[in-house]
């Protein structure tokens, strides 16, 4: 059974323009891209009507909350929200309950994603048992079960020797270490960054060094062990500086940044509303500028959402008591498109690369490219119509976003995974 997507606009990296192309999908793969309007015969046809057709978006940092916190999100709702946001592949974090630290839990996620998931799910496994930082998990068995990398995301690995041992072991298995960088001794009970908002509200702040000190430690450990070391949700100027330096001397480090850290600073926080609380926190305008420069010069490789759904009841506990995290799937592309492409700062191609081919390169995935032979994972995006963000209309169980009411362009309207429609308006 073949499927044609006709009249789509595809970004052409040679001419740096959109070009009308017709795409044939066969056996879950992209079979052909052609500028000539084809004779589609008996094939199924989707008319893109001039919408952007991109390789499916890839999100390498998400929380699906399944198993254990299904009241926040589950694999079914989370993957559908991802599909609605234009994502076709997502990598989920192991801070579940139980923590994803055994082959059984990895297999549970893979099986449920296969049965009920709208998009491709790649599970990470924990570095340490229960993410407690005391004892390494069984990396070889977790890899065998299907884990794609190791991380204690949600918390930093506090002990340097533990991290070094983890890196050496991961390296021996050809696996990456993905690090949530946070030194607990420098944080102690703060909810927002150490800056203007904290001062004005008499709050304790999370200092930039609590993140950067782990980045600095870990690039040295990565150099010593040779592992592929990936830094999660970079938020500070100091981290960008350290990653830039590490790349300059040839250390195998990659990094990610979230839309909220590229768009919002602590000075934008309107009140003690916990929809503005996430970890790492919104930093100063100077840090925002530094992470933008970091992605522009290649220091930071990819954009991820850090989709972190929580219940309304949990977020209603207020800035100090609510859990950290905001939802990301259903706003990420429109936010990035409106703020960076519509304003002329970036080309559309630059943004698409950071959400498709670059994550594929960093993590060795076969998707992320619109070319014959690639998996038929595609996203159709309406670049014209403006819409307002309405959290209550999210497919995700998590409505916790600071972007409610924002008027944005660049809305995904149809998502295809392995040649099958995973989401359509």
301 binds ligand NCD per the rule CB under 6 A? no
153 binds Zn ion per the rule CB under 5 A? yes
Contact criterion met (CB below 8 Å) for 272 and 212: no
Q: Residues annotated as binding site?
A: 61, 63-65, 95, 153, 180, 233, 279, 306, 310, 324-325
Provide, rounded to whole angstroms, the least separation between the CB of residue 118 and ligand NCD. Answer: 21
List 118, 274, 308, 352, residue binding ligand NCD (CB under 6 A): 308
* Residue 76 vs 182, nearer CB to ligand NCD: 182
* Residue 91 vs 352, nearer CB to ligand NCD: 91
- Look at residue 129 and give its three-state secondary structure: helix
* Residue 239 vs 415, nearer CB to Zn ion: 239
Phi first, then psi: what are they for 127, rounded to 5°?
-75, -45
* Residue 97 vs 345, nearer CB to ligand NCD: 97
Find where tokens 């549970």 sit: 108
Residues in Cβ contact with 39 at an 8 Å cutoff, skipping those fewer than 6 apart: none
Provide, rounded to whole angstroms, the least separation between the CB of residue 85 and Zn ion. Answer: 19
Phi first, then psi: what are they for 90, rounded to 5°?
-135, 150
Is residue 306 part of the annotated active site? The answer reads yes
List 75, 278, 288, 292, residue binding ligand NCD (CB under 6 A): 278
* Residue 181 vs 348, nearer CB to Zn ion: 181
Could you say which of 306, 377, 390, 418 is catalytic?
306
Q: Which of residues 52-111 bind ligand NCD (CB under 6 A)?
A: 63, 95
C-alpha 399: how far from chain center:
18
279 binds ligand NCD per the rule CB under 6 A? yes
- Look at residue 74 and give its three-state secondary structure: coil
**Measured distance CA(178)–CA(324) in Å, rounded:** 19
**Which residue has the CB atom at the shortest distance from Zn ion?**
180
Contact criterion met (CB below 8 Å) for 111 and 80: no
247 binds ligand NCD per the rule CB under 6 A? no
180 binds ligand NCD per the rule CB under 6 A? yes
Contact criterion met (CB below 8 Å) for 255 and 291: no
Phi first, then psi: what are they for 34, rounded to 5°?
-140, 145
Q: Which of residues 176-205 bind Zn ion (CB under 5 A)?
A: 180
Torsion from C-alpha of 285, 248, 93, 169, nearest 10 degrees:
-150
10 binds ligand NCD per the rule CB under 6 A? no
Provide, rounded to whole angstroms, the least separation between the CB of residue 307 and Zn ion. Answer: 12
Sheet-wide strand order for 177-179: 177-179, 229-231, 253-257, 302-303
Cite the active site residues: 306
């Amino acid at each position: 059974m073949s499927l044609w997507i006709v009249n789509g606009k595809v970004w052409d990296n040679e001419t740096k323009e959109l070009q009308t192309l017709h795409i044939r999908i066969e056996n879950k793969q992209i079979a052909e891209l052609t500028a000539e309007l084809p004779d589609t015969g008996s094939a199924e046809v989707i008319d893109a009507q001039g919408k952007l057709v991109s390789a499916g978006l890839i999100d390498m940092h998400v929380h699906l909350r399944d198993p254990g916190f299904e009241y926040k999100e589950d694999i079914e709702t989370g993957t559908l929200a991802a599909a609605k946001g234009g994502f076709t592949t997502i990598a989920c974090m192991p801070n579940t309950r139980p923590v994803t630290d055994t082959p059984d839990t990895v297999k549970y996620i893979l099986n449920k994603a296969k049965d009920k998931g709208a998009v491709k799910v790649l599970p990470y496994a924990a570095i340490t048992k229960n993410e407690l930082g005391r004892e390494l998990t069984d990396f070889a068995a977790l890899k065998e079960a299907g884990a794609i990398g190791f991380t204690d995301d949600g918390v930093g690995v506090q002990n340097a020797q533990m991290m070094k041992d983890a890196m050496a072991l991961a390296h021996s298995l050809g696996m990456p270490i993905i690090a949530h960088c946070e030194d607990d001794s420098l944080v102690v009970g703060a909810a927002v960054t150490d800056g203007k908002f904290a001062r004005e509200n008499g709050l304790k702040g999370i200092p930039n060094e609590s993140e950067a000190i782990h980045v600095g430690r870990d690039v040295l450990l990565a150099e010593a062990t040779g592992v592929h070391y990936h830094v999660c949700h970079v938020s500070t100027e100091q981290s960008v500086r350290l990653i830039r330096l590490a790349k300059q001397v040839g250390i195998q480090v990659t990094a990610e940044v979230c839309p909220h850290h590229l768009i919002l600073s602590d000075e934008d926080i309107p009140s003690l509303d916990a929809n503005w609380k996430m970890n790492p926190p919104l930093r100063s305008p100077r840090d925002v500028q530094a992470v933008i420069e970091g992605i522009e010069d290649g220091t930071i490789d990819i954009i991820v959402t850090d989709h972190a759904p929580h219940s309304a009841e949990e977020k209603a506990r207020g800035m100090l008591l609510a859990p950290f995290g905001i939802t990301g799937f259903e706003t990420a592309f429109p936010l990035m498109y409106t703020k960076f492409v519509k304003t002329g700062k970036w080309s559309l191609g630059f943004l698409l690369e950071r959400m498709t081919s670059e994550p594929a390169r960093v993590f060795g995935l076969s998707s992320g490219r619109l070319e014959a032979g690639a998996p038929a994972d595609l996203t159709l995006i309406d670049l014209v119509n403006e819409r307002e963000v309405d959290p209550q209309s999210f497919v995700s169980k998590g409505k916790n976003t600071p972007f409610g009411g924002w008027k944005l362009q660049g809305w995904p309207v149809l998502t295809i995974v392995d040649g099958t429609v995973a989401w359509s308006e």
